[in-house]
Amino acid sequence: MRLFKFFSAVMVMTMMALPMNSKKVHTLGDSTMAPYNPEATVTRGWGMYFGDFLTNGWESINYAKGGRDSYGGYSELWATAKKNVEAGDYVIITFAHNDEKNGGMDGYQLRDYYLSIGDQAKASAVDLRGSIPSTTYKQNLSKIVDEVKAMGAIPIICSPVCRAYFTGNTIRRNGRHDLGDSYSELTANGPVEGKSVPANDHLMDYAYHSQQVAIEKGINFIDLTTATKELYESYGPTKCLDYLFDGTGSTHFNATGALLVARECARLMKEQGILADVITLPVDISVSPASLSMGEAYKGQVLTKEFTISGFGLNPESGTVTVTATDGIQISLDKQTWSSSLSIDYNASTLVKTVHAQALLEKSGDMNGTITVKQGDKTLDVPVTATAITLDGGTEVKAYWRLEKDDTYELTGPATVIAESWEGMYVQRYSNPNANTTWPEWTGFEASRKTQRNLLTGDTWPAEEIDDNPTRYIQWGIKPALGTELKIDEISLFVCGCGGNGMCSHIYFSTDNFETRTTIFEMKKMPANNMQYVKTTPVISLQEGQELLVRVYPWYNGAASGKTICLSDLTIHGMAVDAGATGIKEVSGSGNKSSDVQYYSLDGMLLSSPKAGLNIMHMADGSVKKVIY
């Protein structure tokens, strides 16, 4: 595919009319673009680094999520992003990896076909992701583009990054998202598999059809498919996977790969005159991000964050970069060996290296330090900030699901629990008939200890899944009791696969109903019956009406039946404190219930009349008061 450069007169006129204070680029895509938690995985999405190439106050906001196709891109990601998009903003749109589900058939159409012939079992088992390149895929992209333009923002379509599918030293056709060598078609008599078209026929070429949308809509197109094909082939099959990918396959990047792809996107945009005065492409040594804001943690904990040192066209061609840190900060290349200084060698005038920094928060309050990077006569200082907080006062809250014989929970303290629920899954059983579960030695648990075994609806795990399915998960949650603020400081559980070594999972938490999420665990091909302990110590403050949700998203490495994901001992811990907005009033008397007032206990239970101690009063006008009888 040739690089397409299209910049219509209409687009020029639109840009001239845009407000000059626009400063945001919004990115919509799948797992190859998505943000990841560096503490939970080595996988990185290129959208995490795109903002590093923007200057003059511009920022990049990454809405991409793993497992999303163009349907999810429109109905979920764009639905979230458009709340923040303003006239003059840019919106980068790239999908295809998950649109290839069902061999290039449309997931919804396939489900409806099975329903039409009365095959409920097959209908339930259909992965609803997937679209047809020349029809539903284009339609989904077009809907996003039309709505972006209607808001006065500027859409940009990027064709999808390649998969590292090599034949010899060349990325083959399906690696370029052209399924023409083997695809499936839904006919009046059902799916037909193994169809093909000639190499010059673009019927099943997602990258080609994304370009056609750009042409038809008169918008800019970035050919990342060709750019990444050339990038991968420049390394060759072995070095490409070793240097650019995360070690779990041919799709997901490590930090180096993600940074280079982000740079390619920025380079192509600059070449086409898109944000040309805003995009910068450093050719000497640079650090990303330019400052490390490590956030908050509790006193005594260690905060860790990574940064990337990169250089292109360095002089001399071979040399050493030194990195040093001030007191209270240590640095590492492998997260195993930590020190206050390190040296990094480079060759061929090029360096891309991820460095990890950690800060031990020994004192309450703010911590400030500096990491210094030197190459030749150039010195870069990277400011480092962190905040240590102390969780004092309030009432302890603990929600605990044993998951041994049912989904009941124990709650200590004032809070409201959101019961366990399943989407596209169910509990197969609570048992361990083989009595062979391996637990971490520190637990002292016996191998026969029972767990909750969960299976997907339909019982058969689909082939070729490489990421979580947005419609398949298990969920728990918690929210503050009336009149309180809930400060969460720990989430923990045990997880493993049973029946085979191919179980994979992501575990996330969210405080906005999963419009955004934080990864706390990722593992692929989990050893069977070998329990993994998952624990995170976040700093979360939940206000009244806000929920903390925890979700486990499982998938399996290859087609399989009967394989289960096993869960045990989920704990959510924190402290409940007075929300403070309404104050507490001392009241004497019997406290008989009036007709226009409802009384609640601190844990959210409706009371027939106020009880001795703290009560929450809901007034008829909607206001809330806290009173002590």
Element (H, E) at 307: strand 302-312
Whole-number pLDDT of residue 15 = 36
Q: What is the pLDDT of residues 553-586, one digit of tens each?
A: 999 999 999 899 999 999 999 999 887 644 444 4
Cβ pair 387, 364 in contact under 8 A: no
Cβ pair 34, 3 in contact under 8 A: no
* pLDDT tops 80 at residue 626: no
Q: How confident is the model at residue 396 (pLDDT cuts 50, 70, 90)?
A: very high
Task: Summarize the confidence of residues 118-134 as an average pLDDT.
Answer: 94
Whole-number pLDDT of residue 583 = 43
Q: How confident is the model at residue 340 (pLDDT cuts 50, 70, 90)?
A: very high
Find which of 85-94, 308-317, 389-398 is predicted with most confidence, using mean pLDDT: 85-94
Separation CA 113–CA 335 (nearest Å): 51
Tell whether the torsion through CA atoms of 217, 219, 225 and 226 is positive or negative.
positive
Separation CA 394–CA 573 (nearest Å): 13
Q: What is the DSSP string of 432-448?
A: -TT---B--GGG---TT
When the pLDDT of each residue in the chain is averaged and rounded to a whole number, the result is 90
Q: What is the pLDDT of residues 191-203, one digit of tens each?
A: 999 999 999 999 9
The one-character DSSP state at 336 is S
Whole-number pLDDT of residue 580 = 64
Whole-number pLDDT of residue 258 = 95
Whole-number pLDDT of residue 628 = 62
Q: What is the pLDDT of residues 456-471, one digit of tens each?
A: 998 999 988 999 999 9
Q: How confident is the model at residue 11 (pLDDT cuts 50, 70, 90)?
A: very low
Q: What are phi and psi of 226, to 5 degrees?
A: -65, -40
pTM tops 0.75: yes
The one-character DSSP state at 137 is I
Cβ pair 552, 507 in contact under 8 A: yes
Separation CA 493–CA 118 (nearest Å): 40
Cβ pair 517, 468 in contact under 8 A: no
Instruction: List beta partners, residue 480.
Output: 415
Proportion of the chain above pLDDT 70, given as a percent: 90
Separation CA 84–CA 86 (nearest Å): 6
Gyration radius (Cα) of the chain, Å: 27
Q: What is the pLDDT of residues 269-284, one digit of tens each?
A: 999 999 999 999 988 8
Q: In terms of pLDDT, which residue wins out, 323 or 595?
A: 323
Whole-number pLDDT of residue 584 = 43
User: 3-state SS of the chain: helix, strand, coil percent to 5?
Assistant: 20, 40, 40
Q: How confident is the model at residue 92 (pLDDT cuts 50, 70, 90)?
A: very high
Whole-number pLDDT of residue 9 = 33
Proportion of the chain above pLDDT 90, given as a percent: 77
* pLDDT tops 70 at residue 158: yes
Which residue has 């399924």 as its token pair?
A: 179
Q: What are phi and psi of 192, to 5 degrees?
A: -120, 120
Q: What is the pLDDT of residues 15-44, one digit of tens each?
A: 333 344 669 999 999 999 999 998 889 999
Whole-number pLDDT of residue 629 = 65
Report CA-CA distances (Å) from 246 to 84, 242, 252, 434.
31, 8, 6, 34
Least confident of 333-337, 565-569, 586-590: 586-590
Q: How confident is the model at residue 83 (pLDDT cuts 50, 70, 90)?
A: very high
Whole-number pLDDT of residue 312 = 87
Q: What is the pLDDT of residues 404-448, one digit of tens each?
A: 999 999 999 999 999 999 999 999 999 765 668 999 999 999 998
341-347 own/partner pairs: CB under 8 Å, 24+ apart: 344/309, 344/320, 345/318, 345/319, 345/320, 345/321, 346/311, 346/314, 346/318, 346/319, 346/320, 346/321, 347/317, 347/318
Separation CA 21–CA 349 (nearest Å): 38
